Structure 1
Amino acid sequence: MDQLGRDGAALAANLRTLCEQHGSVAAVCRKINVNRQQFNKYLSGAHVPSPANLRIIANYFGLSVPMLFADPEEFRTLVEGNFFHAMATARQLPEFSRFVSDMIVENNADHNDIVGVYDRYQFSSIYKGFVLRSAFCIYRNREFLQHYYVERFPSFDDPKKTEYVFKYYGFCFPVADRLFTADFEGIQSNEMTFGVYAQVKRNAKRFMFGISSGIAATVFRQPYSTKVALHYRGPGLLRRAHLKELTVMDRNDPSIPREALQYLGDGSDMIQMS
């Protein structure tokens, strides 16, 4: 299959996923004012929409045009995680508009050097003394850089089973060679976290080192601040292969990059409020 065919197949799969989340195909066609017969050709992969229709479709679903052509497996992970809906809702809030106005200065840089998938390492606030490996992804959506990351914690009684899963999603703001992040947790919906990171390149390995702070709305999850190391894995969105690697590890685990361990130290400087 040539590139055009692959693009058409990816678009078709992603449009089917979006239509599943937005009711019937007929309803979507009415909303975007696109002929149902023509739209069916998009869904089958027989045709790729014109640039004008691509913009109409992308705008309706609140996405950028390139996101419509993302790998279907990665795309479904985002949709099923409800990340797109949450971000669209946040963008409509007047409080967010004011926040963005205060944070963003005119900036035409594409920041392609930071977009992609990362392994995220920090000392766990649940498993004391152990390192948490989560999956972190930065992607572009229209004028915004957005991110999401997923944490999985194994059961104390049966490490092969997952006890807790947390999913965070939010926005990234590159400012003065630093990356600022603001996000919220989407499963329990009771925590906001903030981070600031600096990019470091060593021996062809790409890292960002920084600090993350979290504030929960309940007494069951205490506020914290800790060092975080981000290790770049590659372009694209999170895939199931990335999610399978999420766990809590002993700090001597050889799969943890040496650079990440050197930055994290022994975890003694993690701050938790009791």
Structure 2
Amino acid sequence: MTTEQTAAVGSGTREQAPDLGRNLIYLCGFYPSISEVCRQIGINRQQFNKYTSGAVMPSLFVLKRIADFFGLEVEEICLPHDNLRAIFQIRSNAAPAEVSVGSRLLDDIGMFSQEFSEPLDKYEGYYYRYYYAYDLSGRVVRSLFRLSKSDGFYVTRHIERIFHPSSAGKHKTAFKYRGFATGLSNCIFVLEFESLMKSCIAHAVFPIVPRPGQRYLFGLQTSLSTTHGRPAASRVVLERIRPNIAVRKMLARCGTFEPNSPELEPDLLQLISNENLREDAVVMPRII
């Protein structure tokens, strides 16, 4: 990279260093977290995320601070990604196999979450999430799900309020999940983990079928029955909640219900039913 090109990097044109964001994600993979890197450099995390997503180019002064932290020159940190990896592996005296597995995985997650993700902005908001309880009680769970955007990532929050077996059906236990979502191949993919007891990682996928006034998203999910200690899969439906409703009122409507409860619409029960036609080899979402 020439002196003129280096100067242009700080001018805000992404084309001068198209692999910079990918390089930063790769380099951060050698540290406990991106937040830790930002703290050590002394840079705002939200601003740093704009650099990793490629939305904004850092000034030459900031870029030099970042490069110095990683032990690189400005010209090196802006190199094509494969060239940067080769240089950094040599300088860190790390075996290529040790570097490639973990760091490449973090690199790929970052790219799928930001660079390759299809826009999900119009799907941001609160939803009721419906599915049959994994405790084999035959009851239907209505939980609260939120999709939002933070620091360039689509993030999710999911709260269940379920009667715990130890309370003999008298008290509801809250299970809270945090996760991230990405749009790919006309689907919304969600990966989330139970954040209180660290007891479960769940996955869900919702095909995107755009319709005017869309109310439902239909999908499949996998999770773990904490009662039986076994993984399970089920159909799941997201029902969009109209704006301007207080969160506490949304949560008050969450819980578990008998299928014949007036709280549940008959059409909804058909959409989350896990019955399968005998000739079907796999379970697929029901879409209306």
TM-score range, shorter chain: 0.5 to 0.7
Structure 1, residues 183-232: CA drift from partner, whole Å, max 9, x if none? 1001110210011102356683511110111257x885311111100000
Alpha carbons 1:200, 1:207 under 8 Å: kept:
no
List structure 1 segments (4+ residues) > 6 angstroms apart after TM superposition.
none
Runs of at least 5 residues in structure 1 that lack an aligned partner in the other structure: 1-30, 34-54, 63-92
Q: Paired residue for 2:213?
A: 204
2:195 is aligned with 1:183 = no
SS in 1 for 2:241: strand
SS in 2 for 1:126: coil
Q: Paired residue for 2:234?
A: 226
Percentage of matched positions with identical amino acids: 21
Alpha carbons 2:204, 2:220 under 8 Å: kept:
yes
Q: Paired residue for 1:161?
A: 171
Q: Paired residue for 1:252?
A: 260
SS in 2 for 1:262: helix
Distance between the aligned counterparts of 1:160 and 1:240, measured in 2? 20
Q: Which of 1 and 2 has higher RCO (CA within 8 Å, sep 6+)?
A: 1
Q: Paired residue for 1:171?
A: 180
Tell me which protein shows more strand as a share of its residues: 1
Alpha carbons 1:134, 1:246 under 8 Å: kept:
yes
Alpha carbons 2:135, 2:227 under 8 Å: kept:
no
Among residues 197, 201, 205, which one is paired with 1:192 in the alignment?
A: 201
Distance between the aligned counterparts of 1:194 and 1:254, measured in 2? 29
Alpha carbons 2:134, 2:224 under 8 Å: kept:
no
After superposing the two structures, state which structure 1 stretch, 252-261 or 231-240, moved more: 231-240
Among residues 95, 105, 123, which one is paired with 2:132 in the alignment?
A: 123
Structure 1, residues 7-64: CA drift from partner, whole Å, max 9, x if none? xxxxxxxxxxxxxxxxxxxxxxxx9x9xxxxxxxxxxxxxxxxxxxxx959669x9xx
SS in 1 for 2:208: strand
Give the TM-score taking structure 1 as reference length. Answer: 0.56
Distance between the aligned counterparts of 2:235 and 2:105, measured in 1? 27
Tell me the amino acid that sits aligned with residue 259 of structure 2.
R
Distance between the aligned counterparts of 1:143 and 1:132, measured in 2? 31
Tell me the amino acid that sits aligned with residue 233 of structure 2.
S
Among residues 134, 151, 154, which one is paired with 2:143 in the alignment?
A: 134
Q: Which has the larger Rg?
A: 2
Alpha carbons 1:104, 1:173 under 8 Å: kept:
yes
Alpha carbons 1:170, 1:182 under 8 Å: kept:
yes
Structure 1, residues 216-268: CA drift from partner, whole Å, max 9, x if none? 7x885311111100000034897111111111101122322444222112x44
SS in 1 for 2:230: coil
Q: Report the Cα offset of residue 165 of structure 1.
A: 1.7
Distance between the aligned counterparts of 1:197 and 1:247, measured in 2? 22
Q: Paired residue for 1:47?
A: none
Alpha carbons 1:227, 1:264 under 8 Å: kept:
yes
CA pair 94-190 structure 1, distance change in 2 beyond 3 A: farther
Alpha carbons 1:137, 1:237 under 8 Å: kept:
no
Tell me the amino acid that sits aligned with residue 256 of structure 1.
L
Q: Report the Cα offset of residue 117 of structure 1.
A: 0.2
Distance between the aligned counterparts of 2:136 and 2:251, measured in 1? 19
Once the two structures are superposed, the pairs formed by residues 73-152 of structure 1 within 5 Å of their partners are 97-101=106-110, 103-104=112-113, 106-107=115-116, 110-126=119-135, 128-152=137-161
Q: State the aligned residue count.
A: 188
Alpha carbons 1:170, 1:184 under 8 Å: kept:
yes
Distance between the aligned counterparts of 1:132 and 1:171, measured in 2? 22
Tell me the amino acid that sits aligned with residue 136 of structure 1.
F
